[in-house]
């Protein structure tokens, strides 16, 4: 931003950037765990590529978060030296997946919201955010097409694949609402023209998800269903702790280690 930020807006921007970076980082870590375990070689490579895209985006967001925060922390310190309560990712991305159908459903729900959010961020009043969003949306365009196509193929596939995808949709739906949960941080950035209004991205997301679920012959849960929340404020499920224990082990065991 060209104009100096007041302390409240600076803090809100830092939190917002952490949310963007943490979402990408945690989902990337989830997909990295599947490397070598995909149901087919093509899918194995695709999941790994998506994970790498998200990791690159996480670095950009967390690097900027560290700069805005001004406390001397870089992207590595933010990724590896924060405890679970300091992470600001949504609950959806930290949920475990028991089979490939759940992997795809979690990915689809996130990819769809991620795509429309990044589209809005390309016109951000903050040039740095707009620059990162323009780069990232090119990658996420592939992500959302791929996950949507596979949800349709499996949902409208065999009886067993349809059943698994429907159960996955029903199980993960309660975590999708937090993608659009609005708080004071979102309001402050929308008022400053830094981020799009949450209500606008939710409407386009719902329209897209409704279309894909229809093609997949899946029953979409109610948009007004009760939703889990708290991840954006640092209240997480137990799953994040286990994930961070694995992801952060080397840096915690050997502080300052580098290749």
**Mind listing the pLDDT tens digit for each residue in 173-202?**
999 999 999 999 999 999 999 999 988 899
Q: Tens of pLDDT along 89-99?
A: 999 999 999 89
pLDDT of 114 strictly over 50: yes
DSSP string, 158-171: -HHHHHHHHHHHHH
Q: Model's pTM, two decimal places?
A: 0.94
Please give the structure tokens belonging to residue 257. 């280690």
Residue 54 to residue 26: CA distance in whole angstroms: 9
Distances (CA, A) of 254 to 15, 258, 259: 28, 9, 12
Domains and CATH numbers, the chain: 7-253 (1.20.1260.10)
| Residue 196 CB-density burial (10 A; 0-12 exposed, 13-18 middle, 19+ buried) | buried
Q: Tens of pLDDT along 20-54?
A: 999 999 999 999 887 766 677 777 788 889 999 99
């Amino acid at each position: 931003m060209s104009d100096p930020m007041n302390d409240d807006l600076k803090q809100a921007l830092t939190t917002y950037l952490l949310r963007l970076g943490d979402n990408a980082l945690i989902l990337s870590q989830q997909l990295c765990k599947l490397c070598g375990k995909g149901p087919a070689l093509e899918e194995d490579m695709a999941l790994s590529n998506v994970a790498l895209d998200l990791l690159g985006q996480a670095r950009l967001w967390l690097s900027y978060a560290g700069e805005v925060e001004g406390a001397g922390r870089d992207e590595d310190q933010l990724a590896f030296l924060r405890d679970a309560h300091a992470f600001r990712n949504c609950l959806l991305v930290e949920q475990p997946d028991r089979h490939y159908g759940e992997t795809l459903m979690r990915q689809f729900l996130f990819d769809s919201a991620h795509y429309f959010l990044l589209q809005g961020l390309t016109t951000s009043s903050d040039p740095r955010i707009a620059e990162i969003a323009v780069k990232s949306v090119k990658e996420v365009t592939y992500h959302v097409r791929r996950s949507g196509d596979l949800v349709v193929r499996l949902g409208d596939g065999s009886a067993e694949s349809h059943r698994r995808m429907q159960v996955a949709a029903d199980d993960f739906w309660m975590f999708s609402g937090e993608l659009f949960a609005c708080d004071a941080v979102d309001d402050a950035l929308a008022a400053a023209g830094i981020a799009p209004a949450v209500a606008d991205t939710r409407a386009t997301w719902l329209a897209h998800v409704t279309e894909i679920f229809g093609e997949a012959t899946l029953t979409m849960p109610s948009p007004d269903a009760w939703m889990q929340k708290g991840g954006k404020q640092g209240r997480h499920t137990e799953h994040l702790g286990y994930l961070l224990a694995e992801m952060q082990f080397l840096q915690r065991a050997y502080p300052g280690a580098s290749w």
